[in-house]
Amino acid sequence: MISEAPTAAELQEHPVVQAAFATAWADSLVDQPGMRHEEGGFIYANLGGEVTVRRASPGGCLFLDLSAPPDVAGYFLVATYHTHPIPTADGGEPEPSADDWKWADDSGVPWFVVTEIGVFVAGPNRRVGGFGGPGGYPQ
């Protein structure tokens, strides 16, 4: 039997994940209009319930490349995260975009979006297929 992966809600409460969100938000330079950019990365878990993260390269104002999660030995990708750094006051849209939803649904893992008004989740509630298959995106 394949074990279920942690849910988005469980991951969101994990201190490793919370620290990763805080670091990505700080690194997005939200307070510097000319420097704002998306940051984020990949969240992994293993069968022992341990959680670890890997950062993606910094993105642009409105994009971040999350297409190639690195392999982490013994771990499965269970979520991605990225920031939406443009404040609503400057025309930003904090909520997950239509593309975020499409990519999250297609990828088979939850996608967290870290914003000035909180953390949103797009896509499935947890990694599709549990701890099995490839270590990266399950589909």
Residues lying near Zn ion in the complex (CB under 5 A) are found at 97, 100
Q: In this complex, which beta carbon is closest to Zn ion, that of residue 101 or of residue 131? A: 101
Pick 43 or 75: Cβ nearer Zn ion:
43
Min dist. Cβ of residue 87 to Zn ion (A): 15
| Closest residue to Zn ion: CB criterion | 100
Return the number of other C-beta atoms located less than 10 Å from residue 54's C-beta.
15
Between 7 and 97, CB nearer to Zn ion: 97
Which CB atom, from 108 or from 123, has the smaller least distance to Zn ion?
123
User: How many angstroms separate the Cα of 127 from the Cα of each of 14, 42, 43, 55, 82?
Assistant: 16, 12, 11, 19, 17
Shortest CB 133 distance to Zn ion, Å: 25
- DSSP bridge pairs for 53: 43
Report in angstroms how near the CB of residue 3 gets to Zn ion at its nearest: 29
In the complex, minimum distance from the CB of residue 82 to Zn ion, in angstroms, rounded to a whole number = 6
Radius of gyration (C-alpha) of the chain in whole angstroms: 14
Q: In this structure, are residues 54 and 45 in contact, taking their beta carbons and an 8 Å threshold?
A: no
- Residue 89 DSSP class: G
Longest dimension (CA), the chain: 51
